[in-house]
Structure 1
């Protein structure tokens, strides 16, 4: 998933592949040089403020670091009254209007971050209600409300639903669920791009393999969020199999088989942006590591993981907080130490251009055993840093859902652990 997400960038990409782009308002003017003190990063946040903040908070939480209160407050202050989030609101005191381009991606990312941190039930409930209100008739979501469904947007919304304990298969528009939308965007197990996901169909309805969409689609089809725990290690590499109405897990396995083949030669994914030179795409490679590991292919994720450890430092430094977060997610998914990622301390580097976080190390607060850990290493590098950080595994599932239900019971709202299995 690219570091910067904006309506303008996505509309351009959709136009290139021949699909009608959703009608979106022009982006807000660039903010002044003085950025909010609670915001991570020093780059103009006009197009990615909420996205990078959400990923940064998630990554810190998963690494056992308590984010600064002002950083969390900045994110919650970006929410519109209807529950949605835009990429950036320069003046949160000003009510959102039709000129502010709210979208599903920033909203879903914010939900996952706030659900992981806990205690933000009103904000996440409103955001999820808005997401459900803009679900398309095919069961999926586009970037902007009313836009054609795409794999990336549908998958990040699935992660938000899971984060608050909803079952994605039960969130329907008519008879269609998010999994129905993802199945329609998956390529069959024959021909070019076998098993991959497309971003969207082209103007003729044809699907073309897209590695970025495939990495997102694998995680989405598994019903997981931006920071899934490693899946149970499989004995064999993922293979593309089946035809027709496949289960979400098989669709995910098919996508993982495409990713495994794509990174087998060089250890990385190449840029898929139109007109881009033949060069590595660091962010999509990190997402591929997460997808492979989540599907159960931790061993298959090792080659691109090692490549990132050796080659991603300059990219992350230039790209900022969201890039460091993506690398931390890749480390978490493979049981790798993000404080020694190719010799770099990703957690420290992430927190440097932002508000000071708590010095408390949450890893010392609890011991969590991963459900795929049978006492052996399984080649995953161990689960050392899941101690404490494991409290947030699944971005809202387990301990967090339990706390959510207790709060709801006290207030007389509905309760019940609604964790799901696709």
Structure 2
């Protein structure tokens, strides 16, 4: 991994990561007053909306109709301007300038609520806020006004598509969402990262390969979200530059990079600064979804088998978001989430939150659910995320504090 340049905020985050290489279940103490509709027992301060959104997406993907209380809790976390923060303990208190809203939570919530159906007012307001947070380069950063990154831009593209928008038509400063994403694509003649996506360019504009940003970039280039399904059979991905790099070509290039990165061991390694040299289960699950979405389920069979053999213990330690990531990987790549290496992931996810209404979602997909950030807060926000998440949470954490050094 290349040496990284860090601001004071990033240095604070790195110090926490280095000191807190423990599973999420150990890093976060359960709160005595968690809402009954929330998934998981850990402190939701930094990831409540994220884990709730993934859990609901995973249930929808496997035909489980989630509890109305779980859906209501997620919809009720929205601020009046349409944005979502990770967790609002008191939703009767209006959001203000110090409420830590961000694009990732908002995009994830949109994807989940759009998949369930019946939440047009909530998702419409959220999409309006996301559009207002778009950068002049056409992309999105983690917070409104922050520098764009591949992960955040891809998550928002997935949200736009889920809400019925055409991401390529969402333009700021003459540049579209997918124009911004292509700016993170590394050319095929780069020996160290041919075809990959970078999280962000460094100060000189150089791009360094980031496997999870690549998984995100593949999905974003395809206009797909976190719960993407497998594509039809496609030719094995290869990296090929052209005079005009299209989103489809960038997705194939990214898939080629991921296939090469997974070829030796079947998994990705953790890239978090200060972490031990260990497999990254969450990012591997993200890569499975990306490979299947770009080239078909068979393309992701190898890393999916590795996850079936090795990732269940990690998921049990990490909680509902991890269960959901594995379910979504199995769903995309033709696995059985109810027999995932001998483990019923759906049952474990069910047990981590409010009991679902039914095992099969009604054909209408309707739910019974009803239906403001500053830089100073950012240091402690990212520190808290790292404490809660540990290693392997995938899109939410990948590269958040990594800006490559020249």
- What range is the shorter-chain TM-score in? 0.7 to 0.9
After superposition, the CA RMSD in angstroms is 2.0
User: Where in structure 2 are the equivalents of 1:7-406 lying within 5 Å?
Assistant: 12=10, 32-190=31-189, 191-234=191-234, 236-362=235-361
Q: Is the 8 A contact 1:31 1:46 kept in 2?
A: no
**For this pair of structures, how many residues does the alignment match?**
345
Q: Is the 8 A contact 2:31 2:42 kept in 1?
A: no
Relative to structure 2, which stretch is displaced further, 259-268 or 170-179?
170-179
Q: Which residue of 2 aligns with 1:395?
A: none
Within 2, Cα distance between the matches of 1:90 and 1:178? 32
What is the Cα deviation at residue 33 of structure 1? 2.5
Q: Is the 8 A contact 2:30 2:41 kept in 1?
A: no
Q: Is the 8 A contact 1:286 1:305 kept in 2?
A: yes
Within 1, Cα distance between the matches of 2:130 and 2:317? 32
What is the Cα deviation at residue 200 of structure 1? 0.4
What is the Cα deviation at residue 11 of structure 1? 5.9
* SS of residue matched to 1:165: coil
Within 1, Cα distance between the matches of 2:156 and 2:358? 32
* SS of residue matched to 2:172: coil
Q: Is the 8 A contact 1:55 1:322 kept in 2?
A: yes
Relative to structure 2, which stretch is displaced further, 119-128 or 352-361?
352-361
Q: Is the 8 A contact 1:292 1:300 kept in 2?
A: yes
Larger relative contact order (CA 8 Å, sep ≥ 6): 2
Q: Is the 8 A contact 2:141 2:147 kept in 1?
A: yes
What is the Cα deviation at residue 15 of structure 1? 8.4
Q: 1:276 to 1:32 in 2, by over 3 A?
A: closer
What is the Cα deviation at residue 337 of structure 1? 1.4
* SS of residue matched to 2:233: coil
The runs of at least 4 aligned residues of structure 1 exceeding 2 Å deviation read 10-16, 30-33, 297-300, 359-362
The superposition leaves residues 74-93 of structure 1 with CA deviations (integer Å, 9 ceiling, x where unpaired) of 00110000000001111111
Within 2, Cα distance between the matches of 1:137 and 1:183? 15
* SS of residue matched to 1:98: coil
Within 2, Cα distance between the matches of 1:36 and 1:171? 36
Uncovered stretches (5+) of structure 2, i.e. residues with no partner: 1-7, 15-28, 367-406
Q: Is the 8 A contact 1:185 1:198 kept in 2?
A: yes
Within 1, Cα distance between the matches of 2:65 and 2:51? 17
What is the Cα deviation at residue 275 of structure 1? 1.8
Q: 1:338 to 1:92 in 2, by over 3 A?
A: same
Q: 1:14 to 1:172 in 2, by over 3 A?
A: farther
What is the Cα deviation at residue 31 of structure 1? 9.2
Within 2, Cα distance between the matches of 1:14 and 1:128? 32
Within 1, Cα distance between the matches of 2:301 and 2:31? 42
Within 1, Cα distance between the matches of 2:158 and 2:11? 23
Q: Is the 8 A contact 1:238 1:297 kept in 2?
A: no
Q: Is the 8 A contact 2:66 2:358 kept in 1?
A: no
What is the Cα deviation at residue 245 of structure 1? 3.0
What is the Cα deviation at residue 154 of structure 1? 0.2
